[in-house]
Amino acid sequence: MKERVVLALDLGGTNVRVVAVTESGEILARRHSQTGKGSASEIYDLIAELAERCGADAGIKEFDAFGAAIPTTDLDESGVLGSLPNISQLEGTNISREIGRRTGLPVRAVNDASAATLGEFWLGASKGTQNAVGITLGTGVGGGLIVDGRLYTGTRGGAGEIGHIRLVPGGIKCGCGGSGCLEQYCSATAILRRGKQAGLAAESAREVFDLAQAQNEAAGAIFSEMGSYLGLGLSIVNNLLSPDIIVIGGGVAAGWAQFFEPTRESLYENSLPDRRSRVKIMRALLGDDAGVLGAAKYTFQHLN
Amino acid sequence: MKERVVLALDLGGTNVRVVAVTESGEILARRHSQTGKGSASEIYDLIAELAERCGADAGIKEFDAFGAAIPTTDLDESGVLGSLPNISQLEGTNISREIGRRTGLPVRAVNDASAATLGEFWLGASKGTQNAVGITLGTGVGGGLIVDGRLYTGTRGGAGEIGHIRLVPGGIKCGCGGSGCLEQYCSATAILRRGKQAGLAAESAREVFDLAQAQNEAAGAIFSEMGSYLGLGLSIVNNLLSPDIIVIGGGVAAGWAQFFEPTRESLYENSLPDRRSRVKIMRALLGDDAGVLGAAKYTFQHLN
């Protein structure tokens, strides 16, 4: 039997990526572009165009399905997208219908951080485990949950919102409307904000990290604090889910050398004794491919 | 084909209950006793004796299996019990071997709060849902998770420890070694402690509740505070797992009239907008039977 191949999308506020992936996880073609500020139908047209080019690059005329990793925590079974803060022009549109119409393929959509978690479980850091948690530290903070060997997406695809664990009662206001969310302490945005508050000459979280690596004490303290909050949040996940492994990905994971030790300590300290040493923490391995690979895997799992 | 019947145990620090349950959930016989302070083998002997009496009462000579709900968060696949604060003489013993030897039955053990959650999912408040969370408010606080229609027990059976979510950084010391755990704010123990601190003439959480019902303001405030903490903790679970329903059981659930409204408000306020109105909160329906029924169901699910 010929190996099945799907198209997979990772749609972000900044970039849109489409790849062609085989059932064994080989990426045959990849295309990407800036997402831009166009209308919903311009964005769907762009996705269809990238998909077509992937088909041409891979020399494949007919794919088995289309998988989509989407930055929303509110997904209808039929494909209607709920709240989508970074690409709000797509809110209320039906991604299955829009992409289906343009490509002729059945479409399966999944939250982007859930997809990245499944990608790492399929081919990356958590491969071979049974219960895994993924956390994506970027502009915001996302997460995903593998339970008993399967991606758990929750009601309306909303599971895994580690970024909105209320970590600090009465803490920093969050874009979600609440306050004290983990995202406000552990994201790139949070690191940069703390850098500016400390008067550092940094225009990005990356630059705060570089200062920390160059022994700037204030910058080091920012990562240390961020790491402690991250460990506290992960301890909540560890106590609640008792996973084998927690995989940390996203752009901020590049700051590993500065935040890992405080994260590990705080996770240990705040976890129940039976599981504080048991849970592994690893850095994600698949980089930007985690989302498309996870979307592809999710789609393969739902093909008959 | 004859309907299968199992024996099911709910072992607590104070009481031990054994029942005979059919595959459709009918309880054919029930026996209970005080747990007492005996040695591990005296406790296992007592369990075997209760089991034998259940068999006699139900007129059944041969059961299909034995299910055990146990107050530990650290369970080996083979049946070796880890930390067991309320019945520490059983720590390190192999429950499958000990009960198996005495009854001749295959034994399956599961955390008690997970069992209660599964019982409610099988026959109680969360029946017919897909994703459900159970929380048991007693002397301590336990929890269980149903994901995609199945009980999720986590690595070494440790999932669902809602009682040890770190709710208040640097808060009240907990028996688990940490501080600020939900259990320290929402258990019967916590309510009584707050009652004593407030100078109330109450010797139990129940009496604090009775005072609150009689319009004692200090007692009302204790339940109001407890409810807010509970809602905050449940919002973390809601944001992380996006369940259909949260079921609240255990002795403290009898205080529903005093804590439900603040719980609901705090859960609403601290949940992501997409799920704050979606999640249902219900009181458990099965009372003391939830644990044995869940242990029975878990055992049926694992019989071939």
| Tens digits of residue pLDDT in A148-168 | 999 999 999 999 999 999 999
Q: Pick A166's closest partner by Cβ from B148, B178, B235.
A: B235
Compute CA A151 distance to the chain's CA centroid, rounded to the nearest angstrom: 13
In contact, A72 and A114? CB cutoff 8 Å? no
In this prediction, residue A169 has a pLDDT band, given cuts at 50, 70 and 90, of confident
Angstrom distance (rounded) from CA A214 to CA B119: 57
A144 phi-psi bin (left φ>0, alpha ψ -120 to 50, beta other): beta
- Return the percentage of chain A with pLDDT > 90, whole number: 95
Residues of A in contact with B75 (CB under 8 A): none
Angstrom distance (rounded) from CA A111 to CA B54: 49
DSSP secondary structure, A184-241, as one string: HHHSHHHHHHHHHHTT---SSHHHHHHHHHTT-HHHHHHHHHHHHHHHHHHHHHHHHH
Q: Which fold has domain A125-283?
A: Nucleotidyltransferase; domain 5 (3.30.420)
B170 phi-psi bin (left φ>0, alpha ψ -120 to 50, beta other): left
Angstrom distance (rounded) from CA B81 to CA B90: 7
Strands ordered across the beta sheet of B141-147: B150-152, B141-147, B132-137, B245-249, B280-283
CATH architecture of B128-283: 2-Layer Sandwich (3.30)
- Mutate one of B152, B155, B276 to test the A interface: name it (highest A CB count within 10 A): B155
Tokens of A52: 């077509």
CB pair distance less than 8 Å for B158 and A83: no
> For residue A52, what pLDDT is reported?
98
Single-letter code of the amino acid located at A217: E
Distance of residue B172 Cα from the nearest chain A Cα, in angstroms: 13
Mean pLDDT of all residues in B122-145: 97
CB pair distance less than 8 Å for A272 and B158: yes
Would you mind telling me the total number of residues written for chain A in this entry? 304
From residue A261, give the alpha-carbon distance in Å to each of A47, A134, A225, A229. Answer: 40, 18, 11, 12
Identify the DSSP state of A25: S
From residue B97, give the alpha-carbon distance in Å to each of B5, B81, B89, B91. Answer: 20, 11, 16, 14
In this prediction, residue A2 has a pLDDT band, given cuts at 50, 70 and 90, of confident
| Tens digits of residue pLDDT in A271-288 | 999 999 999 999 999 999
Identify the DSSP state of A171: -
Angstrom distance (rounded) from CA A195 to CA A208: 6
Q: Pick B155's closest partner by Cβ from A74, A131, A176.
A: A131
CB pair distance less than 8 Å for B155 and A83: no
Angstrom distance (rounded) from CA B4 to CA B6: 7
Tokens of A235: 């301890």
Rg (CA), chain A: 19
Q: Pick B240's closest partner by Cβ from A159, A270, A274.
A: A159
- Mutate one of A239, A268, A278, A279 to test the B interface: name it (highest B CB count within 10 A): A239
| Tens digits of residue pLDDT in B62-76 | 999 999 999 998 998
Using CB atoms within 10 Å of the CB of residue A257, give its burial: 0 to 12 exposed, 13 to 18 middle, 19+ buried.
exposed
In contact, B178 and B170? CB cutoff 8 Å? no
- Mutate one of A242, A267, A280 to test the B interface: name it (highest B CB count within 10 A): A242
In contact, B49 and B41? CB cutoff 8 Å? no
Strands ordered across the beta sheet of A245-249: A150-152, A141-147, A132-137, A245-249, A280-283
**If you search the block for the tokens 């010929």, which residue do you land on?**
A2
Distance of residue B131 Cα from the nearest chain A Cα, in angstroms: 7
> For residue A288, what pLDDT is reported?
94
Q: Which fold has domain B5-114+289-302?
A: Nucleotidyltransferase; domain 5 (3.30.420)
Q: Is the pLDDT of residue A1 over 70?
A: no
Q: What is the mean pLDDT of chain A?
A: 96
Compute CA B301 distance to the chain's CA centroid, rounded to the nearest angstrom: 19
Angstrom distance (rounded) from CA A42 to CA A40: 5
> For residue B116, what pLDDT is reported?
98
Mean pLDDT of all residues in A198-212: 97
Distance of residue B23 Cα from the nearest chain A Cα, in angstroms: 24
Mean pLDDT of all residues in A204-214: 97
Nearest to B200 by CA among B215, B211, B190, B189: B211
Tokens of A261: 């030790």
Q: Pick B236's closest partner by Cβ from A158, A165, A269.
A: A165
| Tens digits of residue pLDDT in A41-94 | 999 999 999 999 999 999 999 999 999 999 998 998 899 999 898 899 999 999
Q: Pick B165's closest partner by Cβ from A82, A240, A269.
A: A240
Three-state secondary structure of B87-125:
HHHHCCCEHHHHHHHHHCCCEEEEEHHHHHHHHHHHHCC
Mean pLDDT of all residues in B247-274: 97
Nearest to B165 by CA among A236, A272, A160: A236
From residue A8, give the alpha-carbon distance in Å to each of A32, A154, B75. Answer: 11, 21, 40
Which residue of B lies nearest to A82 if distances are taken between CA atoms?
A: B274
In this prediction, residue B252 has a pLDDT band, given cuts at 50, 70 and 90, of very high
Which residue of B lies nearest to A270 if distances are taken between CA atoms?
A: B178
Nearest to B271 by CA among B232, B228, B244: B232
Distance of residue B127 Cα from the nearest chain A Cα, in angstroms: 16
Angstrom distance (rounded) from CA B136 to CA A258: 39
A283 phi-psi bin (left φ>0, alpha ψ -120 to 50, beta other): beta
CB pair distance less than 8 Å for B155 and A242: yes
Rg (CA), chain B: 19
Tokens of B122: 């099988």
Map out the domains of chain B as residue ranges.
5-114+289-302, 128-283
In this prediction, residue B1 has a pLDDT band, given cuts at 50, 70 and 90, of low
- Return the percentage of chain A with pLDDT > 70, whole number: 100
Class assignment of domain A5-111+288-302? Answer: alpha beta
Mean pLDDT of all residues in A112-138: 98
| Tens digits of residue pLDDT in A175-185 | 999 999 999 99
Quote the pTM value: 0.94
Which residue of A lies nearest to B175 if distances are taken between CA atoms?
A: A272
CB pair distance less than 8 Å for A160 and B74: no
Q: Pick A165's closest partner by Cβ from B157, B159, B239.
A: B239
From residue A287, give the alpha-carbon distance in Å to each of A136, A149, B108, B129. Answer: 11, 22, 41, 36
CB pair distance less than 8 Å for B242 and A156: yes
Distance of residue A240 Cα from the nearest chain B Cα, in angstroms: 5
> For residue B76, what pLDDT is reported?
87
Angstrom distance (rounded) from CA A121 to CA B224: 43
Single-letter code of the amino acid located at A88: S
Q: E strand or H helix at A180, and its extent? A: none
